[in-house]
Structures are given as C-alpha cells and as structure tokens.
Amino acid sequence: MFKTLDNDNFDAELGQASHVYAVRFWAQWCGPCRVMAPIFNALADDMQGRAQFGEVDLDKSPDLAVRYGVQSIPTVLLFKDGMVIDRLVGAVPKQNLLNFVSQHSA
C-alpha cells in the first residue's frame, strides 16, 4: 500500500520511515504515469514490510518536484534516512521497478 504525499506531510512521513522509501512523482495528465500507476501500486503491496511507497501529484505539490530536481515524469526517487539514494525516470516494467527498489531494501 502507498501513501499520498504532499507539501504538508512529505518531510514528516519520510522522517518516520523505517525502510527505504520509494516516492513516485506523477501527474494525472501524464500518459506514462498512468501506465506506471498499477505497477507501482502492485509493487507497494508486494513489498510491504521491506519498503515503503508514496506518491506526489506534481499538480498539487510542484515545490517538491523543484526541491528534488524532478524534470520529467514519471520519476521514482528512493529515499533512505531522508536522503535521495537513487532515481528511476520513465515508465518501466514491474520487474525493473522491483529490481530498482530491491537493490536498496536488503
């Protein structure tokens, strides 16, 4: 399961993270983002207890995109201890996203 993140809860949520945290930056009007949505959601369910998942709608929280240098969407940023440790840009198959998150969640 994933959490909806925005300007109000982003820092608090990541500050409480006990695992690596995957954050998907997306927008409703973005076709590749809509393709990634079910993949991201399924992975969030599959990896419960090993990683945490959240998403930021750029139309509602554009400041977060600027803060983390998100220039194209979809982008998934991986956070550990509140710091960005890796990023994945573009729509990818579920296995690629799983590999991306898994390499940091061991």
Is there a catalytic annotation at residue 6? no
Q: 45 near 77, Cβ under 8 Å?
A: no
Distance CA 38, CA 13 (A): 22
User: Which DSSP helix (H) or strand (E) runs through 92?
Assistant: none
Is there a catalytic annotation at residue 8? no
Distance CA 19, CA 13 (A): 12
The active-site residue out of 22, 30, 37, 73 is 30
The active-site residue out of 5, 22, 33, 97 is 33
User: Which DSSP helix (H) or strand (E) runs through 31?
Assistant: helix 31-46
Tell me the catalytic residues: 30, 33
